[in-house]
């Protein structure tokens, strides 16, 4: 805990301990180690109580109004970051590859889009001006085959990979430059967005960051994707896009300002 900057590093187990202490006051044995770590860090006092400085974060995690989730898959695995907004406070959290802990820091609504864009390393595209109308159409099964063949560590040229698995050449060329794939999902109370169900509104987008080949927006399968909804035969369509368009798409994912603004007071 860095009290001077109001930031903390917490694992999922640590968050579970804090939630259970507030909600039930007792913990299962498997969380004893996480509880001891929180005590050693001064986050839980000698009486087993959560220190007052943690009230904003715990209150926000216990009763969020808006949740943003960022899942980024790259060469070193998948990292999960995001933001959570409660009645009074807003926190962002970021994870590093291979690290079980995430850094939680307070933020203001005006910085949320910037924070989410930073989590996915959204940056200006310095490549030559591209055809932003360019599309690649295939299937999810073919996509998986191309990725698996490239991850096998061979030195095949994109043309050889495309021919071997029956993929469009451009799909292999683009994936040969792949830095990471990321998905961003925002959930809030309301029924004004696609994917709304039982009072929850969901908006999401999926993007490929392909280095010299630029950014590609995955239009099919369309986000949000439910578990079991996509198989090998599902249609794949990606479209070249720009960092400016992605900035606007991230902004459009979020609910209106009143829902983002904590109710202080």
- The model carries a pTM of 0.87
Range among 112-126, 134-148, 196-210 rated most confident: 134-148
Residue 116: partners with Cβ closer than 8 Å, 6 or more residues away? 68, 70, 82, 83, 184, 250
Question: pLDDT at position 265, please?
Answer: 47
Contacts of 203-208 with CB under 8 Å at 24 or more apart are 203/252, 203/253, 203/254, 204/253, 205/249, 205/250, 205/253, 206/181, 206/182, 207/120, 207/181, 207/182, 207/183, 207/241, 207/246, 208/174, 208/175, 208/178, 208/180, 208/181, 208/238
Question: pLDDT at position 25, please?
Answer: 67
Q: Pairing mode, if any, of strands 200-209 and 180-189?
A: antiparallel
Average pLDDT (75-84) is 91
Question: pLDDT at position 46, please?
Answer: 80
Task: Determine which helix (DSSP H) or strand (DSSP E) holds 95, and give its type and residue range.
Answer: strand 90-95
Nearest to 233 by CA among 138, 139, 167: 139
Question: pLDDT at position 54, please?
Answer: 85
Tell me how many helices (H) and strands (E) the chain has.
9, 10
Q: How confident is the model at residue 33 (pLDDT cuts 50, 70, 90)?
A: very high
Question: pLDDT at position 203, please?
Answer: 93
Alpha-carbon span 213 to 140, nearest angstrom:
20
Q: How confident is the model at residue 261 (pLDDT cuts 50, 70, 90)?
A: low
238-253 pLDDT tens trace: 999 999 999 999 999 9
Buried b (16+ CB within 10 A) or exposed e, 69-94: ebbbeeeeeebebbbbbbeebbbbbb
């Amino acid at each position: 805990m860095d009290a001077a900057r109001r930031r903390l590093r917490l694992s999922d187990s640590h968050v579970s301990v804090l939630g259970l202490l507030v909600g039930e006051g007792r913990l299962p044995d498997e969380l004893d180690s996480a509880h001891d770590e929180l005590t050693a860090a001064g986050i839980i006092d000698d009486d087993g109580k959560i220190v007052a400085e943690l009230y904003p974060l715990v209150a926000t995690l216990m009763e969020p109004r808006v949740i943003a989730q960022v899942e980024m898959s790259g060469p070193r695995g998948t990292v999960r970051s995001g933001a959570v907004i409660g009645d009074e406070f807003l926190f962002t959290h970021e994870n590093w590859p291979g690290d079980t802990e995430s850094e939680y820091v307070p933020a203001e609504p005006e910085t949320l889009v910037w924070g989410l864009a930073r989590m996915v390393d959204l940056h200006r595209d310095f490549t030559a001006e591209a055809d932003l109308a360019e599309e690649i159409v295939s299937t999810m099964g073919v996509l998986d085959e191309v990725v698996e063949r490239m991850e096998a560590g061979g030195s095949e040229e994109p043309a050889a990979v495309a021919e071997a698995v029956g993929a469009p050449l451009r799909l292999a060329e683009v994936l040969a430059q792949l830095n990471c794939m990321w998905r961003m999902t925002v959930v809030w109370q309301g029924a004004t967005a696609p994917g709304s169900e039982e009072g929850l509104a969901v908006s999401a987008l999926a993007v490929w960051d392909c280095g010299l080949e630029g950014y590609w927006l995955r239009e099919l399968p369309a986000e949000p994707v439910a578990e079991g909804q996509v198989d090998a035969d599902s249609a794949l369509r990606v479209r070249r896009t720009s960092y400016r368009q992605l900035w606007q798409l991230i902004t459009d994912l979020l609910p209106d300002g009143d829902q983002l603004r904590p109710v202080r007071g």
